[in-house]
Amino acid sequence: MPYNYLAPPSPVTPTGQRGFGAYPPPITPTGRSQYMTPQATPALDHQALTPIQQSTLQTPVSQLWVNLPTPAKAPSFQTRAAAQRDAGPLATPASVEPSDIFLHKDIYYSLFYEIGRGSFGRVVYTKVTGKARGVVAIKVLNKIDLTLQRCTGSGNGGLRAEDIKKEFEIMRLASESDSKFLAPLLASFQDTKNIYFVLPLYSSNLEDRLRKLERLCLPMRMEEIILDAAQILLGLEALHERNIYHCDLKPENILIASSGNLVIADFGLAVRQQRSQLCKGPFGTAHYSAREVWSRFQPAYADIWSYGAILLQMMLGTPEPFFGSDPDARPKFVVFRQFITNSAAAALLSSILNSGPKHRPELSQIKDDAFFAGLNWKKVADREYIPIHRPEPAMPSAARNGFEPYVDLSQAQIAQIDYQLQEIDELMIDSQLPVEKIRQCMKE
């Protein structure tokens, strides 16, 4: 589909700042892009915008100028890179103004500061106004960084357009499952610079929880382990029912809501295929991956092994993985069994951490195991059990711009980058859950 068929959201840049937004058009003295055209929007009261936005826009809220037409031709890599070098750093936590403001389907997203960073993008603390109000996290994938990594072999090799599309589709399907134990994709959109995935804002993850317990020299209580393991299991079950296999299950990807409930997140390596179909490895994070992922394997059994590795960490109360990256040098579970005082847990882990994939139990068999005896699975599914641990609110990391200019690119590399940028531009990344569900997710 040609680039000019896309309809990316419009950045409202009242102060002319350029942080995460689209390739910046010329800014008029009033702070508006000269390419913007008036478009009627649903009437909103002034509470929908911050005082800074109200004073700088100098326009009635019902007549906001928010529609930025897509250029007939996508900006080249060199044009975008120059704009990105000129962009200021991310807003610091002390800043009162957002880096960028986007309007997408009657909801305003004000991007403030970075709270995390991964291999292929960063996570930004974002305030929501308009038809829904609250705070969310937006995963920002920078198109230039992704294509440069891929074409120059730097970083983790970047992402192809089909990789981004696959992650988007899997996140969308996971959201449609209505499982309370999968991180939902609230909305998604893109501009010429970035792709944006809107997610609920979670306070912490299981890895942080394990590290904190280690610092305090405290074991994780058995009641907490059982409930956490049950919630992870239900999230994994919801994925497998839709033929989605995570392939990178680890404590870092188990997020903890402010209520203390757990959800599975980060579907960047997930696959959607028939259960019997084989994947070609290697896949996932080495320390949490089953031995067979170094060759051809069935991802359903690999997910079950990773689940067992996480459960083992919770039982022994350490944030460090027990299994090294060399599958031939790994100790067998019998080495750790002597340290597990709960006999039911030891028996369950012994069956899950089996080197033979087809000898591992199915998810339904794990639910019926004696380790979960006395647990009401309907109450778990409805979140009627009150979690023991409730994390503190998410804190921002140091603000960073994150752009490192690449030099000595050949003309062939630039042409390849432009081609891949165009492929990414043409992805139809545009979705949004019902407003009521967005409101509900922000309350958790």
Domain ranges of the chain: 3-201+394-443, 204-381
Closest by Cα among 260, 259, 257, 371 to 307: 371
User: What is the spatial distance between Cα 124 and Cα 132, in angstroms, rounded to a whole number?
Assistant: 18
* Residues pairing with 33 in the sheet: 27
Task: Dihedral sign for Cα 267, 273, 276, 278, please.
Answer: negative
Cα–Cα distance for residue pair 145/155, rounded to 1 Å: 9
- The SS3 of residue 127 is strand
**Whether the Cβ atoms of residue 336 and residue 318 lie closer than 8 Å to each other:** no
The answer to whether 310 touches 316, Cβ cutoff 8 Å, is no
Work out the angle at residue 346's Cα, subtended by the Cα atoms of residues 344 and 347, and round it to the nearest 5 degrees.
65
Print pLDDT tens along the chain (444 aa).
Answer: 333 333 334 344 333 333 443 333 333 333 333 333 333 334 434 444 444 344 333 433 333 333 333 444 565 655 655 555 544 444 444 444 566 788 888 889 988 888 877 767 788 888 898 888 888 999 998 888 777 766 766 555 567 788 888 889 999 999 888 899 999 999 998 888 888 999 999 988 999 999 999 888 888 999 999 999 999 999 999 999 999 999 999 999 999 998 999 999 989 889 999 988 888 877 778 888 888 888 888 999 999 999 999 999 999 887 777 776 676 667 777 778 888 989 999 999 999 998 889 999 999 999 999 999 989 999 999 999 999 888 876 655 443 333 333 345 566 656 766 666 677 777 778 888 888 888 888 877
Output the CA torsion 394→400→403→405 (10° steps).
-150
Per-residue pLDDT at 396 = 52
Could you count the other beta carbons within 10 Å of the beta carbon of residue 114?
25
User: Cα 24 to the chain's mean position, in Å?
Assistant: 26
Beta bridge partners of 189: 196
- How far, in Å, CA of 247 to CA of 281, rounded? 10
Contact 441, 184 (CB under 8 A): yes
- Homologous superfamily of 3-201+394-443: Phosphorylase Kinase; domain 1 (3.30.200.20)
Q: Which residues share a beta bridge with 114?
A: 124
How far apart, in Å, are the Cα atoms of 430 and each of 41, 223, 417?
A: 19, 41, 23
Q: What is the pLDDT of residues 85-134, one digit of tens each?
A: 544 444 444 444 566 788 888 889 988 888 877 767 788 888 898 888 88
- Nearest to residue 112, comparing CAs of 102, 92, 98? 98
Residues contacting 163, CB < 8 A, separation 6+? 268
State residue 405's pLDDT score: 38
- pLDDT confidence of residue 102: 84
Is 0.85 topped by the overall pTM? Answer: no
* Residue 286: both structure tokens together: 């080495």
Tokens 């960063």 found at: 122
pLDDT of residue 347: 94
Burial tier of 258 (Cβ tally within 10 Å: 0-12, 13-18, 19+): middle
280 known member of a binding site: no
- Record the tokens describing residue 133, joined without a space: 């109000």
> How far is residue 285's CA from residue 322's CA, in Å, rounded to a whole number?
13
Pick the CATH number of 204-381 from 1.10.357.10, 1.10.510.10, 1.10.1040.10, 1.10.4030.10: 1.10.510.10
pLDDT at position 156 is: 59
CA distances to 20, 21, 23, 137, 186 from 87, in Å: 8, 9, 10, 21, 27
What separation in angstroms does the CA of 415 have from each of 6, 84, 232, 238? 22, 19, 44, 42
Q: Do domains 3-201+394-443 and 204-381 have the same CATH topology?
A: no
CA angle 427-253-186, nearest 5°? 45
